[in-house]
Copies of this chain bind each other. A is one copy, B any other.
Amino acid sequence: MPFVNIKITREGATAEQKADLIKGATDLLVNVLGKNPATTVVVIEEVETDNWGVGGESITVRRKKGM
Contacts and interface: CB of A to CB of B under 8 A. Distances in A.
Interface residues of A, number: 51
Contact of A6 (B2, B8, B60): B2
A40 B57 CA distance: 10
Contact of A52 (B8, B27, B41, B59): B41
What is the count of identical protomers in the complex? 6
A39 B24 contact: no
A54 B33 contact: no
Contacts of A55: 26, 37-38, 40
Given A8-B2, A15-B60, A24-B32, A45 B51 contact: yes
A67 B23 CA distance: 17
